[in-house]
Copies of this chain bind each other. A is one copy, B any other.
């Protein structure tokens, strides 16, 4: 096993403005052996997520900066190859933070470092999407911040994505009107036709703020009670202007501004005028909800009631390009990298 090669992607420089291929480097490292308490995992899927863009910067943010010259961090699912921890056996399917690499050696005794995946009811890759961090993110922001009530209108941006698609379906299950925003006619058709949203606005079809607002107004005739925001910028401006009194905005992501200067919020006075509550969150700080959320999400996926789509890039070498595509919205549903 010591002769085995572990292909990895390292971060080697920080972006100035847009992230680019040159920020990443493919490295072939020798693979070590697990020590006592450690587990060697063969990663099968790597999750690519917008939050990774923030970690590429060296700025104060909720996520610690990704160190230069090290393996990019990231969520993975895979199988145990060798174990020196009594809870894990070779062949076990596991979820963890294996990073952008083919193999990971994990300290299995560290709380939350690994959890087992039951692949008899739920596909392995779903543990990185609807039954993983994105799913719980959707659940937390919707249930705990947007506080949806039957008959209310919930708007979610990046509606075809890993998080947004779950938000809308959970909102529908709670008797709400679910309205999405997505980039392109194909994504919108999927959001309505497959995911069951009531409406979806193609933000790419609107050149200016006025036109986008008009389209959103048509899709939300009774205004908006809860907004789950993944994108920010003009999309958030439009939604803010549609909020009903006492509405709730869960700020989950602002991907439109990740690659450059912050994008101002045009009408912050609406938060006061409409007596809104705006709350930013990251799901890893709310571990107390994970069991309840994963129970609902797992059951919905296992019974086919929660639908999702994946875009899968092939091979660790493809990870940087797939990640840059994610930042541009080129993925459709959950962006994964297959590491077979």
Contacts and interface: CB of A to CB of B under 8 A. Distances in A.
Interface of A: 54, 60-62, 232, 236, 245, 251-254, 257, 262-269, 271-282, 285
A267 B273 CA distance: 20
By secondary structure, the A interface counts as loop
A285 B236 CA distance: 26
| Copies of the protein in its oligomer | 2
A275 B266 contact: no
10 contacts: A232-B269, A251-B272, A254-B272, A262-B269, A264-B264, A264-B268, A265-B265, A272-B280, A276-B280, A277-B277
A281 B279 CA distance: 15
A265 to B, nearest CB: 4
A244 B259 CA distance: 24
Contacts of A275: 62, 279-282, 285
Contacts of A273: 54, 60-62, 280
Contacts of A282: 275
A306 B37 CA distance: 61
Nearest to A277: B279
Contacts of A271: 251, 278-280
A262 B253 CA distance: 24
Nearest to A279: B277
